[in-house]
Structure 1
Amino acid sequence: MNDITQITRDGVSLHVAAQGPVDAPAVVFANSLGTDLRLWDDIVPLLPKGLRVIRYDMRGHGQSDVPDAPYTMGQLVSDAEAVCDAFKLRDVLFVGLSVGGMVAQGLAIKRPDLVRALVLSNTAAKIGNAKLWQDRIATVQTKGLDAMADEVMKRWFSPGFYASDAMLHWRDMLVATPTNGYLGICHAIAGTDFYTPTSALRIPTLGIAGSEDGATPPDLVRETIDLIPGSRFELMRRVGHLPCAEAPAAYAALLNQFIADIGHG
């Protein structure tokens, strides 16, 4: 069953794409700042058959509503919770990249009945500091996203991918992000520190980092993954902040092995 729908939480409409049998084990994907659910386009066809796959556009991104900034991490976590509840999901594998990985941590903490396992990709319990985000917000407000897009692409991608035509798709996606949506998520990230609550998690967790990631470097990702006992950390070589875009086959192989190892199928 394939379905594209809108669900509404707290007056905000969220764009959701669902596919696969309604009663199958579910995998939920959450996108990063400046992308939308198309972040996972090359991954979904490579997943094991028979899964229930749910992707959604975070508020302020893609085809979801764009409320005025700022947003809070609590709102983003409640959005993910609402998506899961709308589709009557339980015991999902939640895959989050960058801020999506922060949402994953928050949801696992808030609703352990919803999340049985995590993939925390190119993310951390805390990303950046107040000054970094204040500077980013000020730049977007005064100059717009297009003015900083090339700098962002260099943080997102390995040099080889940055120099390719494939990078332009992601630059266009970033620049098309509504300003309020981008700023709203920046505020949410700036106000989040999950080090203490994440260290209390006791569920199967896979961490993925890219060796060329200029946004969430491997050591930062590993530091967060190490907070969770029994977790697994994988470093992907020659890719940056969006390894699912640069090396989808290798990325999907890591997901599929983890799915098999935890018996989520």
Structure 2
Amino acid sequence: MQVLNRAHGALHYRVDGPDAAPVVVFANSLGTDLRLWDALLPLLPQGLRYLRYDKQGHGLSDLGQADSLQDHVDDAVALIRHVAQGPVVFVGLSIGGLIGQAVASQHPDLIRGLVLSNTAARLGTAQGWQDRIAAVRRDGLPAMADGVMQRWFGPDFRATSDLALWRNMLARTSAEGYVAACHALAGADQTQATAALDLPTAVIAGSEDGASPPDLVQATAALIKGASFDIIPGAGHLPCVETPVAHAAIIAPFLERHAR
């Protein structure tokens, strides 16, 4: 386990791969920690350095304020500068994809390519996120976990015993960390900035995604010059968990072309 000390406290991260190799950064979804990528990483190209981390208020990272997207962008930039020797490929899922879009827009020198999975330039509405915040504060995360699982995963995965692990990860997330990230999502709209991006980008959706439906994800792909777009059949919101082989089949060739 490794820690980057930030003004808000500890930012937990992990690096896998050879020293001095090109870096690929992974940013997680709401309500998950860096274990999100466990099944995917062994399927990706060797000889790269894979950096993943826990957002503020998630996993083993401390929570400061982190109620704006910019707070998360600043953490990602600090981590990239701390670990990488040069520009990175940024792989972001859900809110992680919003973070990646903003980092690429604000710091183009740090990003050589983007993989945007199950995300969009804007996710949900401000009112929808305020309603989510109210529900978490009223009832707690365990009470809403079953509904979230319906949006995260397709029916085949929900029928497996592995579902309990992801339900527990969500339910045991810090409520304040979750609420802070919801505040960040409520105010996040990267539409104009993302439309100005001009770098290699792969955009991925899941056909069964109830959180970021394929049409929403495809609309963001259409904003970015030259971006590819793929839908993984049968996958929900977390294809790196549910269909890691299919997810890797899209990401691995992108990394071979753009990470080195």
1:8 Cα deviation from its structure 2 partner: 1.7
> Which residue identity is paired with 1:24?
A
The secondary structure found in structure 1 opposite 2:10 is strand
Could you say which residue in structure 1 is the equivalent of 2:120? Answer: 124
1:196-235 equivalences in 2 (<5 Å):
196-235=192-231
Output the CA distance in 1 between the equivalents of 2:227 and 2:30. Answer: 25
Q: Tell which deviates more after alignment, 208-217 or 4-13.
A: 4-13
The secondary structure found in structure 1 opposite 2:137 is helix
Output the CA distance in 1 between the equivalents of 2:5 and 2:218. Answer: 35
Q: Is the 8 A contact 2:210 2:236 kept in 1?
A: yes
1:171-210 equivalences in 2 (<5 Å):
171-210=167-206
Query: Alpha-carbon deviations, 1:175-197, whole Å to 9, x = none?
Result: 01001100000000110000000
Asked if 1:165 is matched to 2:161, the reply is yes
1:50 Cα deviation from its structure 2 partner: 0.7
Output the CA distance in 2 between the equivalents of 1:29 and 1:176. Answer: 21
Q: TM-score scaled by structure 2?
A: 0.98
Asked if 1:101 is matched to 2:97, the reply is yes
Query: Which residue, out of 40, 52, 55, partners 2:49?
Result: 52
Percent identity, aligned pairs only, is 51
Q: TM-score scaled by structure 1?
A: 0.96
Query: Alpha-carbon deviations, 1:115-143, whole Å to 9, x = none?
Result: 01000000000001011111100000000
Asked if 1:12 is matched to 2:9, the reply is yes
Q: Is the 8 A contact 1:12 1:59 kept in 2?
A: no
Instruction: Count residues with an aligned counterpart.
Output: 260
1:30-45 equivalences in 2 (<5 Å):
30-45=27-42
Output the CA distance in 1 between the equivalents of 2:153 and 2:212. Answer: 12
Q: Is the 8 A contact 2:73 2:99 kept in 1?
A: yes
Output the CA distance in 1 between the equivalents of 2:114 and 2:198. Answer: 10
1:201 Cα deviation from its structure 2 partner: 0.5
1:67 Cα deviation from its structure 2 partner: 2.8
1:128-147 equivalences in 2 (<5 Å):
128-147=124-143
The secondary structure found in structure 2 opposite 1:90 is coil
Output the CA distance in 1 between the equivalents of 2:238 and 2:190. Answer: 22
1:12-91 equivalences in 2 (<5 Å):
12-68=9-65, 71-91=67-87
> Which residue identity is paired with 1:253?
A
Query: Alpha-carbon deviations, 1:143-193, whole Å to 9, x = none?
Result: 000110000000000011112111111000000100110000000011000
After superposing on structure 2, the runs of 4+ consecutive aligned residues of structure 1 that deviate more than 6 Å are none
Output the CA distance in 2 between the equivalents of 1:109 and 1:13. Answer: 26
Give structure 2 stretches of 5+ with no counterpart: none
Output the CA distance in 2 between the equivalents of 1:143 and 1:172. Answer: 16
The secondary structure found in structure 2 opposite 1:113 is helix
Q: Is the 8 A contact 2:8 2:62 kept in 1?
A: no
Output the CA distance in 2 between the equivalents of 1:43 and 1:71. Answer: 29
Root-mean-square deviation (CA, aligned residues, Å) is 1.0
Output the CA distance in 2 between the equivalents of 1:124 and 1:79. Answer: 20
Give structure 1 stretches of 5+ with no counterpart: none
Output the CA distance in 2 between the equivalents of 1:127 and 1:106. Answer: 14
Q: Is the 8 A contact 2:22 2:84 kept in 1?
A: no
Output the CA distance in 1 between the equivalents of 2:160 and 2:146. Answer: 13
